[in-house]
A and B are shown apart, each in its own frame.
Chain A
C-alpha cells in the first residue's frame, strides 16, 4: 500500500530531514514510527499526505507514484487517507458532528449518508452522545477521539497518526491503540508516529525507527 524507495527530503534551508528511507507497509498492516524529536517522523507523514514532496527517491501509494501526481489531484488522493493530528486540528466554530462530517462533505457525500456514517464513526470512538456539543466542551482525550473519528469516517485505505496519544493517560492510550488495531484488521494500512516506547512494547506490531533521518527496523519483543 505504502512504498518508500530511497526517499530523501531536504528542506530549502539545507536541513536533510530524511535520508534514503525505504520501507513497505502492506494493506492490513500496522507499524509504529518512532525516533527522537526532530528525527523526521512528521516529515515522513507529511510526505505521505503530500504536504511535502520528496527531494529524492520514489514514494508509491497504492502502486501509484506520488511524484507524478498533479497538484489538482492532491485533494482526491487525500480523501483515501485518514490522518489523526497531534494537536487534533478540530474546528471550534462547529459541533462535534460537523467536525467529523467534514471529510464526507468535501467528497460530496449525500446528507443522509453523512448522518449514518458520522454516527457510526462517533459510536466507534464511544462519543455518539456528544455529537451536538462543541469540541471545546470536551476533554483532551475526547477531542483526540473526535479527531480519530474524523480520520476514519470516510473509510480511508491508509490511516496515519501523529502522536495520537501525546497527552493521554496510559489507559486511554491503550484504548486508542486497540482502535487502530481494529482498523488494521479490516484491511487498513496504519502508520502511527509516537515516542511512547512503553506503549509500543505492549503491542505486537512492526516498529520503524528514525534516527537523524535514517530508518532502521527493529522488532520489539512484546513485554
Chain B
C-alpha cells in the first residue's frame, strides 16, 4: 500500500483546451447514459427471469386485462366489416310512375348510370315483373283475371361499396333519388342497418369502457408489484442515494421492470387473441356459410399486435412511474 497507488486512484489527466474537454466529457457522459439504459433494460429483464413464476403471474394479469378489450375490438370491427359488406342491404328499389314512357325511363337509367355513387342499375319492366310473379307460383290464376298489368316499372339500384353502411350518405342518396321526376317511391329497408350501426356503436363504447377500466387495473397491479420491488430493494436504494445516485437513476430499473411487465403482457395478450381467433374462427365460418355469407373474423394484424404491445408497455411504464414517484422520493437515507 504505497504512495504511488494513491496516485493511480486520483485523476492525473493532462488538461486540454476547455471546449474540447467539455465535448469529450459530454460524449463520454452520453455514452455512459445510454449504456446505463441498456444495462438497466437487460438487468431488469434478468431480474424478472430470475423469478419466472411470480413475473409470469403479473404478466398474465396484464395480458388478461389487455386481451378482453382486444377481443371485443376484433369482434366489433369484424361485425363492422360485415354490416358494410352486406350487398343486398343497400339495394334500393325505385318504383317509377306507371305511365312512364320507355324513352323517359331509358333517359333516367342513363342518368343514373353516370351517377358516381351508384354501382349498378337494373331495369325490371312491368312485364318482366309480372312474369316473375307468375313464376313464383300461386298467383298465376289470379293474375290472368286482371285487365291490365298493375305493376309499375321498377329500377333496382346498388350504391357503391364506399357508402354502404354509411347511413347519412345512404339517406342523402335516397333523397336525391326520390326527387327524380319519374320516381314514385324509393324503398330501402334501412331500419336493420341503423339498428346494426347502433349496436356496433354500443359495442365500441363497451370496448372503450371495459378497456379503460382494465387499463386502470393494469396500472394498479403493476404499481403494486413495483411498490413491493422497491420495498425489497430498500437497502440498495439508500446506498445508491448515499453515493450520489439521483432520483432518476434510482427510478430507472423500476421503470424498466414496469415496461417489461406491460410489454410482455401485451405479447401474451396478442397470442391470446390469435388463439381465440383460431378457436372461434372455424365455428364462425360454419355459421356464416349457413347464411351464404363470406363473413370471417378479422385478426388484429401485425399493426394491431404492435399497438397492443406498445399499449401494454405504456401502461406498465405509467403504473411503475406512479409507484416509483410516490415511494422513491420518500426513501431518503
Nearest CB in chain B to that of A114: its residue: B32
B5-50 at interface with A (beta carbon < 8 Å): 5-11, 28-29, 31-33, 35-36
Query: Do A106 and B246 touch (CB < 8 A)?
Result: yes
Query: Do A178 and B243 touch (CB < 8 A)?
Result: no
Q: Which residues of B contact A79 (CB under 8 A)?
A: 243-244
Query: Do B1 and A124 touch (CB < 8 A)?
Result: yes
A197 within 8 A of B: no
Q: A110-B28, A182-B6 are in contact. Are A175 and B245 (CB under 8 A)?
A: no
A65 to B200, CA, bound (A): 67
Q: Which residues of A contact B32 (CB under 8 A)?
A: 108-111
A75 to B239, CA, bound (A): 12
- Size band of the interface chain A makes with B: 35 or more
Q: Which residues of B contact A182 (CB under 8 A)?
A: 1, 3, 5-6
Query: Do A120 and B5 touch (CB < 8 A)?
Result: yes
Query: Do B240 and A102 touch (CB < 8 A)?
Result: yes
A49 to B244, CA, bound (A): 10
Q: Which residues of B contact A49 (CB under 8 A)?
A: 242, 333
B249 within 8 A of A: yes
Nearest CB in chain B to that of A76: its residue: B244
The prevalent SS among residues of A at the interface is: helix
Distance in Å from the Cβ of B25 to the closest Cβ of chain A?
10
Q: Which residues of B contact A108 (CB under 8 A)?
A: 29, 32-33, 36
A63-122 at interface with B (beta carbon < 8 Å): 72, 75-79, 83, 89, 91, 93, 102-103, 105-111, 113, 117, 120-121
Query: Do A123 and B243 touch (CB < 8 A)?
Result: no
From A83, A120, A154, A183, B242 is in contact (CB under 8 Å) with: A83
Q: A123-B5, A124-B1, A183-B6 are in contact. Are A89 and B244 (CB under 8 A)?
A: no
Distance in Å from the Cβ of A177 to the closest Cβ of chain B?
11
Q: Which residues of B contact A111 (CB under 8 A)?
A: 32, 35
Q: Which residues of A contact B243 (CB under 8 A)?
A: 78-79, 83, 102-103, 106, 150, 154
A113 to B7, CA, bound (A): 15
A20 to B86, CA, bound (A): 89
From B5, B31, B235, B245, A75 is in contact (CB under 8 Å) with: B245
A219 to B293, CA, bound (A): 101
B252-300 at interface with A (beta carbon < 8 Å): none
A155 within 8 A of B: yes
A167 within 8 A of B: no
A145 to B148, CA, bound (A): 116
Nearest CB in chain A to that of B5: its residue: A124
Query: Do A186 and B7 touch (CB < 8 A)?
Result: yes
A49 to B3, CA, bound (A): 27
B236 within 8 A of A: yes
A109 to B245, CA, bound (A): 12
A72 to B246, CA, bound (A): 8
A25 within 8 A of B: no
Distance in Å from the Cβ of A141 to the closest Cβ of chain B?
14
A126 within 8 A of B: yes
B241 within 8 A of A: yes
Q: Which residues of B contact A91 (CB under 8 A)?
A: 235-236, 239
B278-333 at interface with A (beta carbon < 8 Å): 332-333
Q: Which residues of B contact A51 (CB under 8 A)?
A: 242, 332-333
Query: Do B244 and A106 touch (CB < 8 A)?
Result: yes
Q: A78-B243, A89-B242, A102-B239 are in contact. Are A120 and B8 (CB under 8 A)?
A: yes
Query: Do A153 and B3 touch (CB < 8 A)?
Result: no
Query: Do B6 and A185 touch (CB < 8 A)?
Result: yes
Nearest CB in chain A to that of B233: its residue: A93
A152 within 8 A of B: yes
Contact with B along A181-192 (1 / 0, CB 8 A): 011011000000
Distance in Å from the Cβ of A36 to the closest Cβ of chain B?
25
Q: Which residues of B contact A107 (CB under 8 A)?
A: 244
Query: Do A124 and B9 touch (CB < 8 A)?
Result: yes
A47 within 8 A of B: no
Query: Do B33 and A124 touch (CB < 8 A)?
Result: no
A89 to B21, CA, bound (A): 35
Q: Which residues of A contact B249 (CB under 8 A)?
A: 75, 106
From A105, A123, A186, B36 is in contact (CB under 8 Å) with: A105
- Beyond contacts A123-B8, A155-B10, A185-B6: 9 other A-B pairs, Cβ-Cβ < 8 A, are A51-B332, A75-B245, A75-B246, A89-B238, A106-B249, A110-B35, A113-B28, A153-B9, A179-B1
16 residue pairs bridging A and B, Cβ less than 8 Å apart: A78-B243, A79-B243, A91-B239, A108-B32, A108-B36, A109-B32, A110-B32, A120-B8, A123-B8, A124-B1, A124-B8, A125-B1, A150-B243, A152-B9, A154-B244, A182-B1
